[in-house]
Amino acid sequence: MRAMQIVVPGVCAATLSAAFCGGLARWSGRLRLVAKPRPDRWHQKPTPNTGGLGILIACAAGYVLFGNAGYGAVAVSAGFLSILGFVDDRVQFPPLAKLAGQAVAAGIVIYSGIILHWTPWYGANAIITAVWIIGTTNAFNLIDNMDGLCGGVAAIAAVSGAVLAFLQQDAQRAMLLVIVAAACLGFLIFNHKPARIFMGDCGSMFLGFSLASLAAASSHRGDSILDSLYAVPAFLYPIFDTTLVSVLRSAAGKRVSVGGRDHSSHRLVSAGLTERNAVWVLWSIAAICAFSGLLVCNHPGWFIVVTTLLLAGFTAFGTFLARLPGLAAQPQLQSADLLFRASKADSAPDCLPMS
């Protein structure tokens, strides 16, 4: 694969994403396509949450122009989930309804032949693949809780996946992942603090699903367990944050599906970091994890050492974060109508909505 075969699709996707996200940031407020403040969420002003549409349009255009119809089941299913997420951003589906939609999308991908070959039995592999795709989709949805966090982690995972696909000589998958990474970068222009637009479920579910499905496809060519395991480190931070929140909420007698200001990002802020610094710390962790996967891919003998170090690091980090308090719910906010009118004068938010 020549460099221009990657650069041109990436530049197109980034440009389209930036253009559409910029336009959506400007016009969504007038259409009231916004995330309204809530006591358990971070931002304090109604903020457009249509950035996922910009990411979707950029990726769809890149796929049509450069994708050569490869991984069609992933593209169609991810698009379906993105539209489902856009509607959910408006009407708030119950968790089971979203889970059902994710299960249908995952089933389509598995039926197309993309499956993790981790056991000798097809049924077990299908279940493992479904859990992987659905779990990762929701993990990215949960880390969409602070300016730039989800988009940056998704870009890092996509770049890592593209390099891995290139090493595995899967040019088609590498190109698609470059398009996803570029679309995230275009979105981040308007989402890095102070964010002018959020991606919403429309974007977070699309990114999580696309990345998880393309990672599962890494074992499709050689039926090797290691081929797909190399991709896992890039997803360790979203998995870690989801596990941390689930364990701590369950221990406190709270429902895991109910949002709160108790994610790893919020706990770092409670320790004294600024929001930008907290995001940069978590981006750095995601990048280290992604690099670890690529390192092991080139040096398989390091697999046990790298895995042990990552597990020990996340155990220590989780223990540290568990000792920090989550951030209390915000005081009662003004009415949404008053805030909406105020936001027209100053539309810059403090941060992304809490998942």
Whether residue 45 contacts residue 15, with contact meaning beta carbons closer than 8 Å, is answered with: no
Does residue 18 fall inside a structural domain? yes
Residue with tokens 């308090």: 325
Characterize 299-323 residue by residue with b for buried, 16 or more Cβ atoms within 10 angstroms of its Cβ, and e for exposed.
eeeebeebeeebeebbeebbeebee
Domain ranges, residue 47: 4-331
More confident residue, 153 or 333: 153
Does residue 214 fall inside a structural domain? yes
Band (328; pLDDT cuts 50, 70, 90) = low
Measured CA to CA, the distance from residue 110 to residue 338 in angstroms comes to 47
Does residue 348 fall inside a structural domain? no
Q: Which two tokens stand for residue 346?
A: 């100053």
Measured CA to CA, the distance from residue 157 to residue 9 in angstroms comes to 18
Whether residue 191 contacts residue 40, with contact meaning beta carbons closer than 8 Å, is answered with: no
Does residue 337 fall inside a structural domain? no
Average of per-residue pLDDT values in the chain: 86
Q: Is the confidence at residue 148, as pLDDT, over 80? A: yes
Does residue 63 fall inside a structural domain? yes
Q: Is the confidence at residue 335, as pLDDT, over 50? A: no
Q: Which two tokens stand for residue 137?
A: 């989709």
Does residue 341 fall inside a structural domain? no
Does residue 340 fall inside a structural domain? no
Report DSSP state, residue 193.
S
Does residue 343 fall inside a structural domain? no
What pLDDT is stored for residue 42 in this prediction?
54
User: What pTM was computed for the model?
Assistant: 0.88
Q: What's the domain count of the chain?
A: 1
Residue with tokens 């670890």: 292
